[in-house]
Amino acid sequence: PTSLRYVAFTKPRYYNPPAQYPVRSVFPLIYSNNLLSKSRKKLEDFPGRQGFDDDHQAPVMGSTSTENAGRFAFNHYELRLNPQLIQSHKDLRSNSEYAGPRAGYLFPQTGWHKPGANWKEAKNYHINKKGPIKGEWLERHITPRFMLAPRVCPGGPRSRYEGKLAYSIVSLPRILWSIECGKLNPNEPITLRTLVEAGVVHDRNVLWPGLKILAGGLSEIPMPLHIELQRADQPTINAIEKGGGTFTAVYLSPEGMHQELNPDQYPTFVDADMPNKLSMDRVMSQPKQRGYLSQWVSESSQYAHPDSGRRLAHYVKPPVDRDFPTTFAEYEAVKHHQKWHLNQAGSGTVLPWNYLNTLDVRQATSGTI
For residue 214, what pLDDT is reported? Answer: 96
**Cα(190)–Cα(179) distance, integer angstroms:** 11
Strands (E), 95-167: 105-107, 111-113
For residue 353, what pLDDT is reported? Answer: 47
Beta carbons of 93 and 75 less than 8 angstroms apart: yes
For residue 315, what pLDDT is reported? Answer: 47
Along the chain (369 residues), what's the average pLDDT of each consecutive run of 10 residues? Answer: 55 63 53 55 68 78 57 83 90 87 77 73 60 56 70 61 80 95 95 96 90 95 97 97 97 92 87 88 93 82 56 50 69 70 63 50 52
Which residue in 305, 302, 308 sits closest to 351, CA to CA? 308
For residue 244, what pLDDT is reported? Answer: 96
Beta carbons of 318 and 305 less than 8 angstroms apart: yes
- Give the total residue count for the chain: 369
**Cα(26)–Cα(13) distance, integer angstroms:** 35
Beta carbons of 185 and 205 less than 8 angstroms apart: no
**Cα(324)–Cα(348) distance, integer angstroms:** 7
Other C-beta atoms closer than 10 Å to the C-beta of 319 total: 15
**Cα(227)–Cα(213) distance, integer angstroms:** 10
